[in-house]
Amino acid sequence: MTLLKTALHYSLGTLVLFTNLVDGKEIWVRAHDGEEFAVHIQPEESFCDVVDKIGLYMELSPEERDFHLPQYEAVAADYSENHQDVCLDYMVAGLNIKSMGKSVAPVNIRDYNIPPTQKERDMIAYIVTTLSYKKLTTVLKEKSTLETYGDKIDNLHPFRFCEVIFTDEKLKAAVANLKGKAFVWPRFKKGLFDTLTAESKKQNLKLPAINDFAKKVGINSELIIPSLNKGNWDEFLDILIEKVPREGNPGKYNM
């Protein structure tokens, strides 16, 4: 018996397909809350039928799933290295498939595990230093470039955005200086706070990422966990500005 592994990522969770022991197949579904359960399908069922069935099972409670779903054991003997994992990404609206494509991560999730590229670091540095040190007339002239760069880094996880700033001495000073500029500070915060809010709603500000981020910027994660749990982004940013250590002369890059 050959075990075929197919991972399908969709808007509610991740599906991993296995061949069943005799007839049909068994689909293991990982819901958005992390719970896994099995759905049994028959060879004659269409892909849309399978999606419909999964949608119905997603509405059941764990107890109802245990009652309705038979238990099967996936057997992994004779696994062949010629069988590759395949990741598919698709969206479901109600019970109708809207789009399908190859992917490695859920749709619209800013993946903390993807670090910023050098180009993204350069764009963040440009945004922060321009807003912090340039005159308002210059900032207004650079508005188009600033917005373009903002769009290009929008895919970054907010912790990664903050990591770029709070691991660079010049940018630490720049963001501290930026805080005192009444016109541009609220606009700077809005971009960061919008992404923090979006990822918080998706439960994508997870403890492992918080701990890793805190370690990278040189603070104890316990300092920022309460503000993140409350969604108090102002407090979170203030803590970073005040508590992230600065090397040598802290006022060296202040202007």
Cα angle at 147 between 178 and 149, to 5 degrees?
90
Average pLDDT, the chain: 75
The percentage of residues in the chain with a pLDDT greater than 70, rounded to a whole number, is 58
Higher pLDDT, 33 or 178: 178
Give the mean model confidence (pLDDT) for residues 7-18.
40
Q: Which residues contact 190 (CB under 8 A, 6 or more apart)?
A: none
Measured distance CA(187)–CA(142) in Å, rounded: 14
**Which pLDDT value is given to residue 62?**
58
Residue 25 — φ and ψ, nearest 5°? -140, 165
**Which pLDDT value is given to residue 60?**
62
Give the mean model confidence (pLDDT) for residues 82-97.
41
**Which pLDDT value is given to residue 98?**
39
**Which pLDDT value is given to residue 177?**
95
Give the mean model confidence (pLDDT) for residues 102-118.
76
**Which pLDDT value is given to residue 57?**
63
> Tokens 């007339």 — which residue?
137
Burial 164-190 (b: 16+ CB within 10 A, else e): bbbebeebbbbbbbbeebeebbeebbe
> Tokens 């896994």 — which residue?
36
How do the domains of the chain map onto residue ranges?
6-102, 118-243
The percentage of residues in the chain with a pLDDT greater than 90, rounded to a whole number, is 52
Residue 7: beta bridge partners?
A: 16, 87
Give the mean model confidence (pLDDT) for residues 159-164.
98
**Which pLDDT value is given to residue 24?**
62
Coil, helix or strand for 207? helix
Q: What is the pTM of this model?
A: 0.57
Question: Picking from 23-32, 147-156, 242-251, which range would have the lowest pLDDT averaged per residue?
Answer: 23-32
Q: Is the pLDDT of residue 158 over 70?
A: yes
Cα-Cα-Cα-Cα dihedral of 124, 183, 139, 189, to 10°?
10
Cα angle at 37 between 109 and 102, to 5 degrees?
40
Find the helix or strand (DSSP H, E) in which 124 lies. helix 118-133
DSSP single-letter state for residue 44: T
pLDDT band, very low/low/confident/very high, at 228 (cuts 50, 70, 90): very high
Measured distance CA(34)–CA(14) in Å, rounded: 9
Measured distance CA(163)–CA(158) in Å, rounded: 8
Higher pLDDT, 131 or 24: 131
Q: What is the pLDDT of residues 120-130, one digit of tens each?
A: 999 999 999 99
Q: Is the pLDDT of residue 217 over 80?
A: yes
**Which pLDDT value is given to residue 42?**
76
Closest CA to 106 of 245, 208, 7: 7
Measured distance CA(198)–CA(23) in Å, rounded: 43
Q: Is the pLDDT of residue 99 over 80?
A: no
